[in-house]
Structure 1
Amino acid sequence: MDLAVLVPVKAFTEAKQRLSTVLEPDVRCRLARWLADGVIRSVGPTPVYVVCDDVEVRRWAEDAGATVLWTARLGLNGAVDDGVAAITAEGFDHVVVSHADLPLPSRLVDLARPETSTLVPDRRHDGTNVMSFPTRTPIAARYGPGSFHRHRSAVTSTTSEVRFDHHLSIDLDTSSDLTHPLLREVLPTWLPTIPANHYSLRRR
């Protein structure tokens, strides 16, 4: 397969709003960037494309070696669809679309299988953390609450699968996500609500 990875990245200053009850704005911004860094690094030499509409994110992505696709005023779904179209036009025959807030992203590239569409739901089986599909049979982006079921209905390739991956199903959206057992040794020590510090989390 000629594979590319597509990562939509929201402005770091606007990311992780649902963690505002436990993290200050500067920490949320730093966490969003740390997570996105991990996703980009995890795919190794595989070409990475970042869709964004923020100048700071564009600079960060370019410094990280990613190709930037500027998608202002398209929204998340429009940006992802536009990014997939651009990757297809570049000649890639398979794409992995990943959220930028996965703390355990090391298996991203392993998802790609020839002529197969793969969906990885979040651990609540509500959202879609990762999609992998041939570019000739793209899955239209339908993110938002309940996206996993909409994406599952949108699959058009003849071979498809749902992968319930214990690592890729974890994203960081709420304070309870920060205390997931698998993240105990992963989250950065500068994060005030690291799992080892449950007392601090309860006091916030």
Structure 2
Amino acid sequence: MTRPIRDAVTVAITGASGIAYGLRLIKCLNAQEIQTHVLISKAGRAVAELENNFRLPEQADKIHALLSQELSLHPKLVRVYDSEDWNSPLASGSSAPQRMVICPCSMGTLAAVAGSHSNNLIERGADVVLKERGQLIVVPREAPLSSMHLEHMLNLSRAGATILPASPAFYHHPSNITELLDYIVARILDHLGVEHDLSERWGSTGT
């Protein structure tokens, strides 16, 4: 059964390196039968093609069809929105989900959300989650970080967001890229309160 929209999770993919984190997160949420609302920026589509040979169309319905096929998703549990769809429930505090993850988060999106710009649905969705005292998780991927980047992260943290950098650990002895991805996705799921078995926890057998 589809859960109420406010119990859903919004996943926004922007134009930073690490698109695979966002795609893996969507797949894991879907496997747990969590209603997921997906937003992918124009730059995010460009990076997806560059990094994953994943050519995403512009139209939301076509993105939905492609993601459902390529990630083996339950289609009814996924809703894709155009970044300019201001009629989306994500744009209003009266109906938007209380949980949102920007993964990966570009420095441009980071700055816009920190400044409450709301120039597109990704920025507006994040602004709504913050103003409604929901849960916003930001997964930045950049190196090195300038003082401006750090100030934006500090402002978002003060506003209630969780800053969860895409910095995988190695104590679990990863043997492939998927295990590196899963370490970060597992941390995101932990903060969302979603059960998973993606990686071993510190102190468990084998660490």
Give the TM-score of the pair, scaled to structure 2.
Answer: 0.39
TM-score (norm 1): 0.40
